[in-house]
Amino acid sequence: MGLTSNKVLLLTVVLAVLLFIGTVWLWPRLARQNWRSVTGRVGLLLAVQLALFSSLGVAANQAFGFYASWADLFGKETAQGVVVDHTANGAPGGPLQVLSTQQLQGVSGSGPRSTGQIQKVDIVGRTTHVATPAYVYLPPEYFQPRYRTRTFPAAVILTGYPGTAQALVDKLHYPRTAQELAKNGRMQPMILVMLRPTVAPPRDTECVDIPGGPQTETFFAKDLPEAVTDHYRVGRKPGSWGIVGDSTGGYCALKLAMHHPASYAAAAGLSPYYKAPIDPTTGDLFRGDRNLRNRADLWWCLKHLPAPATSLLVTSSRIGEHNYKDTLRFIDQVKATNLTGISSIILPSGGHNFNTWRREIPATLQWLSGRLSDR
């Protein structure tokens, strides 16, 4: 049974309930003051608490998409990562391969012409050889005969760390929200490319070109747009591409647009931070390279690099988000550049969680749609 399956959640809940009932039933028998009774009482209490925390942990993982599998949870994930491609022209079948398709759930109509389609794909970077899975949402218009020659704008959507790409579909509802907004005329139809910023799990690469390691920034700035453009009808000009992310993905989105305005015309960071952390999940990202460390610091970029011609959106909450003061400071510093556009969504309250981001996503997609072209 997979970590994210309902059967695992049900099993942990049932186990916690049974242990609780067993504790109540056995407690009178363990009331004696000898070492066996004391040990029994301690063991029952620990077992009940462990089962309770396990059920809560599984429920939280299902709600927020922290880990996709048992291997991911225990740092043993081997199915994804950085690969070296020894073929002449990239991976067999090209840099993007469609593995499966599914109809968009929760919307009226049937068939891709009515609801759009979600494709599960594998992407291999031509220059970086980074390999990662992703989900691609194609709007209904993509399949309709009258749009058969039209190209569409595209938005890269990134999770936080560790995150799962599936959560962008099932928990944050990006495709469904985009379909409903476009149907109501509140945004233009867009292709969404949804994936994790963590392309070498379990390591948190922070979208950095790591010396001697994954060239993550180059993958997102160059390889990913090229692979998608070669496979789908996506506009090839910079104005056709935007990028959105939450938490770690939000930091990556802002940094990629600031570093590569020729790749991304707009970026939105939902609850982002503004400087790459160094912790046990990241390892040594910079290998002593001061320039690389500075480039990963958006405060340093605003102060020392030319202002990029791109548009940025940042979000936070007055109560519940730790980045609130930093976000206000970031807005002020971007405004001072007089070139980079800056917008914001500031909620009265909201924590660092899916519920908060779901409240921000509709306005974010509308904002992004207004800054992208289909050519």
Q: How far apart are CA 366 and CA 178, in angstroms?
A: 9
pLDDT at 90 over 50: no
pLDDT on residue 74: 58
CA nearest 308: which of 240, 254, 251?
Answer: 254
Minimal CA–CA distance to 284: which of 373, 205, 200, 230?
Answer: 205
Integer Rg of the chain from CA: 23
What is the reported pLDDT for 61?
Answer: 67
- Read off the pTM: 0.78
Residue-averaged pLDDT of the chain: 87
Residue 194's region, left for phi above 0, alpha for psi from -120 to 50, else beta, is: beta
CA distances from 49 to 21, 26, 159, 325 (A): 13, 16, 31, 38
The model's confidence at residue 18, banded by pLDDT at 50, 70 and 90, is: confident
CA 292 – CA 205 distance, rounded (Å): 13
Peptide bond into 162 cis (omega under 30): yes
What residues contact residue 273 under an 8 Å CB cut-off, 6+ apart? 247, 248, 250, 251, 323, 326
- Specify the pLDDT at position 135: 97
Say what the pLDDT of residue 191 is: 97
The backbone torsions φ and ψ at residue 239, rounded to the nearest 5 degrees and listed phi first, read -70, -5
pLDDT computed for residue 211 by the predictor: 94
* Structure confidence at residue 253 as a pLDDT band (50, 70, 90): very high
Categorize the per-residue pLDDT at 237 as very low, low, confident or very high, splitting at 50, 70 and 90.
Answer: confident
